[in-house]
Structure 1
């Protein structure tokens, strides 16, 4: 067995190197550039960078924050991302020793990198690239298999990772569905998507409330098939789907159906599954829905960014559903507090929820178990 101390040193150095690559992702993904070609170069003069220009932190410090070839300033974000990644990997290797979690440590480090990349991009562009969140969710599921083999305490096995992924996406998409419905004052969407979109998500939510997650997703898929056959968006009214979901939960509290808890879980998981199918479809087949978000008269308002939905799915896949709930609660509290401060100090009210979700995920990863246990003892669960 490799000593934990040696692993910690190796992981910290690896973090610095991965931090350097993270800067590539942060710069290129929002600009739709290849992460492989061309090789690293100065964005100002396009001169290719030599190996000595790419040493994490040290190159930036030796060059005093300027390009060696054109003397243009280099953003301090580059060494900051590298240092944060190295420090993050170091802390993770100390909290989750290799001797206890084995290869699962690699998954936790990868999660840290994905969260950091998503947060910085969201901070700068108000968007989270699908190239980060959707493959990240799939990788989280794969590490569910690794966790089962390594018997990593507190980390989800595959079934728990799948449940966390569906509930993560479902929780945030349901907040978006009802929040957007309120913002439209219960009016129907002006721009329904075809062949699949928010209407199918809402339908899966209603069906999943009564029939369970997989049946709910199947009902949503039937609606997709109808749209494909009709070659247009066949409307599924929200007074039926969202209103029906609220009525169903009221009936659930009265003893009807499979029970309130199972109804909530089934509806959220079904909505989350359909939301991920939408996200995957829109990623692989970008479509124009007819709405222009820069024209306030020509788009359906949204209460939650769809990138946050997919990011929550990734977090749920890596951490499981209990830690996902901790992450969302921390994100909401942090977002509320820091959002008010942002409004008071910067006079800016656009909230970037991705960084708060990432912060919540890290707190849940490191302290989720004692927080969940405290909650259970507090309420006698």
Structure 2
């Protein structure tokens, strides 16, 4: 048995164990519980579970899908998550052999866990926890630094660009959708001290001066709000409107190259989005009451959840901006197909977009490179 085959087997076993931990994340994160303490216990009788109760898949099967202590049914999701994770980890180890890619496969395994756990949480509570998405962005950048861009994976600058572009693409869709839903009126409930107004500002500034300038502009606007102790409005007719005027000017030969302007705008919006995400994560972690009040506070309509923005940033950090485009196209296609199936079955329940993004990211992870090569050849690029 060669080293690569052995690593595939080890990866599968490791995936089963991580899948067991993923079930902890899926249960505890949306309930704002500590993921380490108290130790694993039955949610029905609260009896602490022992090692024999926590063997992936085997424990559930041997117990007949029931708690050893109170005989309450155990959700079959537990062995399913463990099995899927084990198979996915083995597939990643086979596709990205450690002898060629070094530590990169481990990072991609973590990405899969983020996608799977995040999707199931999103399906349950319509929320993508920052502990998965923003930590995922950081992990993607760390692994890009460690492996230095092995094979078709991004190095650190490319991973950073992928994170910014990923966030920027989704947040631009959200900005435009919300603007249309508000019939191009200004926001009635702008976020304090930082939110979509600063992201729109980052979009415009980034288009002309790049993502660093966009981040500085968004931070300056946030500090101005904090100093004034109120929202100092940044009218979207100027920022969003100015971005589209910029596109027209650029296509007419005035200003930066059209592609550079568009990339700069998306990266600038992505940088401002991550600033918002990190700020609100810190604030809400420090003040759980403020987090609850924010959920109940009135808000303007949004086309997409902000968790989707941060999830796409994590995908871009791990896989790069080209894979972001593959993931987006696949997610839209998957959403359309599943939506039609649900309509045909007369199912009225809505599905959040996070799971669709996860499907797109998995496709990009396993088949992104041949898809990109096929499309490049088709377009003669």
Give me the TM-score of the superposition, normalised by structure 1. Answer: 0.95
Residue range with higher mean Cα deviation, 65-74 or 94-103 = 94-103
**SS of 2:132's equivalent?**
helix
Give the structure 2 partner of residue 200 of structure 1. Answer: 198
Is contact 1:191-1:291 (8 Å) kept?
no
Q: Take 1:312 and 1:378, find their aligned partners in 2: how far apart are those partners?
A: 26
Superposed CA offset, 1:218-276 (max 9, x none): 12222112112211110111111111111111111111111110010000001001101
Give the structure 2 partner of residue 229 of structure 1. Answer: 227
Q: Take 1:220 and 1:115, find their aligned partners in 2: how far apart are those partners?
A: 29
Q: Take 1:219 and 1:14, find their aligned partners in 2: how far apart are those partners?
A: 44
Q: Take 1:137 and 1:329, find their aligned partners in 2: how far apart are those partners?
A: 21
Q: Take 2:349 and 2:180, find their aligned partners in 1: how far apart are those partners?
A: 19
Match of 1:155 among 146, 153, 172: 153
CA shift at 1:361, angstroms? 0.8
CA shift at 1:346, angstroms? 4.2
Give the structure 2 partner of residue 177 of structure 1. Answer: 175
Q: Take 2:92 and 2:64, find their aligned partners in 1: how far apart are those partners?
A: 30
Q: Take 2:170 and 2:157, find their aligned partners in 1: how far apart are those partners?
A: 20
Distance 1:70 1:15, change over 3 A: same
Q: Take 1:305 and 1:354, find their aligned partners in 2: how far apart are those partners?
A: 9
Give the structure 2 partner of residue 313 of structure 1. Answer: 313
CA shift at 1:344, angstroms? 3.0
Superposed CA offset, 1:8-56 (max 9, x none): 1111101000100000000000000001111000000000111110010
Aligned ranges 1:115-154 → 2 under 5 Å:
115-148=115-148, 152-154=150-152
Q: Take 2:47 and 2:217, find their aligned partners in 1: how far apart are those partners?
A: 54
Match of 2:241 among 240, 243, 251: 243
Aligned ranges 1:275-314 → 2 under 5 Å:
275-286=273-284, 298-314=298-314
Q: Take 1:260 and 1:101, find their aligned partners in 2: how far apart are those partners?
A: 36
**SS of 1:285's equivalent?**
helix
Is contact 1:193-1:289 (8 Å) kept?
no
Question: Structure 2: which 5+ runs fail to align?
Answer: none
Aligned ranges 1:51-90 → 2 under 5 Å:
51-90=51-90
**SS of 2:345's equivalent?**
helix
Matched length:
377
Q: Take 1:332 and 1:213, find their aligned partners in 2: how far apart are those partners?
A: 27
Give the structure 1 partner of residue 324 of structure 2. Answer: 324
Is contact 1:101-1:153 (8 Å) kept?
yes
Superposed CA offset, 1:117-165 (max 9, x none): 10111111111100000011000000111221xx620111000000000
Is contact 2:174-2:302 (8 Å) kept?
yes
Q: Take 1:8 and 1:289, find their aligned partners in 2: how far apart are those partners?
A: 42
CA shift at 1:294, angstroms? 6.9
Q: Take 1:256 and 1:271, find their aligned partners in 2: how far apart are those partners?
A: 22
Q: Take 2:91 and 2:369, find their aligned partners in 1: how far apart are those partners?
A: 17
Match of 1:189 among 187, 190, 194: 187
Superposed CA offset, 1:177-226 (max 9, x none): 01000001011111111111110100110111111111122122221121
CA shift at 1:340, angstroms? 2.1
CA shift at 1:290, angstroms? 11
The runs of 4+ residues in structure 1 deviating greater than 4 Å are 287-295
Distance 1:291 1:20, change over 3 A: closer
Q: Take 1:367 and 1:171, find their aligned partners in 2: how far apart are those partners?
A: 21
CA shift at 1:328, angstroms? 0.8
Distance 1:289 1:264, change over 3 A: farther
Is contact 1:169-1:272 (8 Å) kept?
yes
